[in-house]
Chain A
């Protein structure tokens, strides 16, 4: 079986790929697939009918416990016969339907083959999930086939509607199948029905599965896509939307009903939906003037009929359903083919314009009459046998609602008879209507060209089968009986016969036919009654209209959401992320709060805190950018003040240096931006921003409280005490912060300065890509006084920074602070004379400084290894120097110098990259400069 499915896919793909090269012969190639299915199936049929299903299991991944389970029992064989026989007939028919040289035919043939493969897979699958996969594949191929003519907007819309309804129904079904599989503990269909699960979960699951089946089989209220799908070429409609695909839902319900029909809710839902579908479909079919749409509504009605039969879950009705499946496949395909022939020859399907055909049309007429009679349930055709069987079994059915079923079938059958009659009368030209005829749309009559034999033969064969199987039901009897047993193992199906004697079913049939004949004779009056009935009803929303309204509003909502949430605005993205990250941790943090801590230790805290708060609030209010930057700087200085008060001079020093440098850099960048903030966002955004900002503030506040409380119960001795103790003996330095940086966590520092280097690379690369105009405002007037004082100050600040560097190991300072201080000195130079001044006094390239710094740090780290020590192991040196006296230093100093240089290099580079007169960087910056390091 598996090679058969592969054959379909490969053949389909080849035909699609060949495209229009084959022309309509593509259908001849495509016919190989159904022929192969038949060739495989017919030899097996004997065994299958004897109750011996063919199974095959392709174990694929042993590790994943996955296998493709296929199983062909008699019911699957019935479906497979439909798929392959009608597939063959359609391929033959399509050769006549499509003219030579019509574009897109190859694609249709190929997709149809893939569809046939999916449908075969669907009816052969014994595993719920593979069944689902094939199920969705049929939806997808159906979509592609309906929308094949992608220049026709109606085709696209219809395809989309079909896909959305059946596809989303499939999704609902998937949820149901998973629940069902989980509650049963198996996904094998055959095992599932052998030991069905029970309980609330499986009831829910079944309802979900039913929704999927209803959408696929076009049950009311999901039926609107099927009439729409009639824009597809007739061979496609014949195959997918009459004979095979739409029966997938019926198939699945038939598989599940025998064991689940008694589950709460199953029968009321299935029987009600099926009855309404049967009657509404038939009613609508009666009103149509387009032969194809008439048949489509007829299909809906018949699908409702089948749903009733399979859903009731008794073997008698199931047996009737199998006969209906066969009969419907034959007569509906034949009828569609008749419509296709008429459409092809006359270019219309409007019964008001058909005035009867000439003598050459005999075979078409015979086909139409036989097939329609079978549909109407007239003896001695197969359709009659099916309906008799259904009525008989329903009357004998011992379940609540059996009489309801009988009533629904009778009403539906009357309607079916009526629209069958309407179809035949339309084909014979008895329903012409002058109001639909004008110069552009003339009446078409006997003068129309006669269709070729080959074109009409497939339909005729199917119609003759309806007659033959009706006269000699023994042809199908054993298959039908075994198919029934494969659904209901306990079933004892009676033989299907044409003449079952005088019984109540026959009486009902007589009534149906009598009422149908009367309705057909009084056709005009029925039409008038329908029109009168529909005038008030037309205002109610139909399922079709609701679908489009729903789709439009969903799309509009999606667009609106994307426009707000995904509008490309950085502030909005920031608000989303900030908002979530502020709110997420606040709950655990707040729960950790037992009591409020002392907020101020000394009076000095109060003015400092006030400064910070005022500056922070101020920076959000002011309109000038430069003022906002300065406010931020003030907040930073306030923090540094707090550090001083708390007795952390090293932190304070670093903070001061960073704030100074950052403010200068801010000012530098702000020159190129507009002077004030411009707020172009909508008015609703402002309060949202305030809320997010407040939330972030509150959550950080709560955090800090929680954090300080958590520290309270930590035994202080743990980490900080250990660091303090080990600083002098192990790190040879009294400044613990510095010792941690260059010694205890020296490797981390090495990593950090490497990251700084990468950041530098990034800054340069970013700056290089930006096309910059020369700025008019920035050239400062060179003033000798400023220049001279800048030089003096520069020298002294640089000296201070070097002092910080050397003193750092034992006193406040260190390479990082020193570097920042030197950076401030460089800023001073820059402000005084721009980049030329910086270059004059520091004639080294930024990359050299940066790279050199990293190199020194790395060498310092590695040298101890070469000497047989550990990474960053430091040694202490003491020396007596003239003038300076005794100095004491460690080998950590070079490492610190490395850090120092990296920071300076970064500052230099920022000026080079963002300053107003960057050296022309195309040729030299970037990579070449690295080499010099």
Chain B
């Protein structure tokens, strides 16, 4: 007789960030629909506050985790560990910034209303679930919640380019999700569980020679394809330039920050946490993806003329950097002393999320004024028209390039350091060289902003809330760049994850 079904106990406080986000989304929809149009900016403020409070709750939960050690929630469906809280905080920070920027972007269009903010919060919840998932099915649920909301957001603008972007993202994303799901199914066939902890236990207890790995490996390959698509790693990046360019800029910012952070968190969960015993199988694949992303991202970025496309390719190269960290984490996945790979990826994600939102916010301000054009020529003379904005842009681009004294350097250095520590010299050197190549791309934008002849254009108006978001992003970029200890002391705990 099988044992009695035991209901999962639920720690409501530990789930509070998700509940706050969902409540925020539903509240916006319900209250927003019942009341007449709110005063300007209030929708944005409410969603930014929702995201912020979820992030603050995650900090408190982190304290709990630090005191009581990691565990799982809802019958092993979600992890209750510092890793999850870190991802939650990063996602919430980026979401709050995007929410602030969104206000000015949708003002005066049919989209001015609570729906778009509800979608942002929903997507962010999906991202948080992905970061915390301890079960492949839950991971997939999070992925779909995030992706579906993103498809809609990508197509939310009534332009041909926006529609095309949404359509492409939807079809290719749907395919990737299907591939991912197939991968889960095959992995389940091999591991006989979708729970990460049970998967690890399963492979721990079987001798490598005895197990039939063909299903696991095939499933692993498909999982990597699906995740590779979501993180926009070459050669699965083909969608990203078109979609980044076509989608509304604030949505692009969200995709590049929250979307990427969640997908990488999921990748770490699946590869490093769930499948450490197959690290010698997946690490070479990640190695190839990393190098392809670095090289393709940085070289193709340089020949673009549209700033959003440039940044799309640059985000491919950032994905390459993150994969360098994943590869480094793969060397000692599952060991007691696991090295710095995982930690460096998470730090990179958090810092990149903030600075990429800032960058795209400035692109949004400039392109809105130029009638929606994001050609590099519209940035010409920005230094004359809006010196402070141009300064913020410079700081953020320097950070993207990984220049010292910005957070981007801390991020890149950490990843390369962890690769070097694992003696992955080739990948570290390629990463550094591609960083220098990519630096010329950012330089081009900066040169255009500061040195190009100013054409007689009115200075672009900077909406207050967008200005706040940009200032926050730039401030974080600088403060973390100058005092990285602030962040680094904090992140040591994240490798102590639950499963």
Contacts and interface: CB of A to CB of B under 8 A. Distances in A.
B187 to A, nearest CB: 11
Interface stretch (B30-38, B64-72, B366-374, B457-465): B30-38
Contact of A769 (B156, B212, B436): B156
Interface string A64-81: 101000000000000000
B7 A869 contact: yes
Interface in B270-299: 281, 285, 299
B114 A927 contact: yes
A170 interface: yes
Interface in B175-232: 175-176, 179, 186, 189-190, 192, 212-215, 217-222, 224-225, 229
A133 B401 CA distance: 12
A926 B484 CA distance: 45
Nearest to B303: A558
Contact of A573 (B144, B168, B186, B439): B168
Nearest to A922: B110
A585 B282 CA distance: 12
A108 to B, nearest CB: 11
A64 B413 contact: yes
Nearest to A584: B221
B388 to A, nearest CB: 11
Interface size class of A (residues with CB under 8 A): 35 or more
Interface stretch (B51-59, B145-153, B321-329, B352-360): B145-153
A562 B241 CA distance: 11
A792 interface: no
A577 B217 contact: no
B179 A592 contact: no
Contact of B149 (A566, A726, A751, A758): A758
Interface in B408-457: 410, 413-414, 417, 420, 425, 428-429, 432-433, 436-437, 439-440, 443, 447, 450-453
A574 B175 contact: yes
Given A570-B172, A580-B235, A179 B163 contact: no
B57 to A, nearest CB: 21
A150 B212 contact: no
A17 B119 CA distance: 42
B172 A573 contact: yes
A136 B144 CA distance: 44
B425 A178 contact: yes
B186 A748 contact: no
Contact of B172 (A577, A591, A714, A769): A577
A873 B75 CA distance: 14
B238 A573 contact: yes
A171 B436 contact: yes
Nearest to A66: B413
Contacts of A751: 138, 141
B484 A61 contact: yes
Contacts of B32: 927
A589 interface: yes
Contact of B189 (A133, A710, A769): A710
B401 to A, nearest CB: 11
Nearest to A699: B218
B221 A585 contact: yes
Nearest to A62: B485
A588 B451 contact: no
A591 B156 CA distance: 46
Given A16-B450, A762-B151, A930 B33 contact: yes
Interface residues of B, number: 98
B166 interface: yes
Contact of A174 (B215, B300, B436, B452): B436
Interface stretch (A608-616, A622-630, A658-666, A717-725): A717-725
A127 B134 CA distance: 44
A703 B190 CA distance: 13
B74 interface: yes
A131 to B, nearest CB: 13
A781 interface: no
Given A150-B452, A766-B166, A930 B213 contact: no
B108 interface: no
A566 B175 contact: no
Nearest to A579: B235
Contact of A591 (B74, B214, B410): B214
18 contacts: A17-B383, A61-B410, A61-B485, A64-B414, A144-B447, A178-B432, A179-B429, A566-B242, A573-B168, A581-B222, A581-B225, A584-B221, A592-B215, A710-B212, A751-B141, A765-B115, A769-B155, A927-B113
Given A148-B451, A585-B219, 13 more contacts: A60-B404, A61-B484, A63-B489, A64-B413, A566-B241, A577-B172, A578-B175, A584-B225, A591-B214, A592-B213, A592-B214, A747-B77, A758-B149
Interface of A: 16-17, 19, 60-64, 66, 107, 133, 136, 140, 144, 148, 150-151, 163, 167, 170-171, 174-175, 178-179, 182, 555, 558-559, 562, 565-566, 568, 570, 572-574, 576-578, 580-581, 584-586, 588-589, 591-593, 703, 706-707, 710-711, 713-714, 718-719, 722, 725-726, 730, 747-748, 751-752, 754-755, 758-759, 761-762, 765-766, 769-771, 869-871, 873, 922, 926-928, 930-931
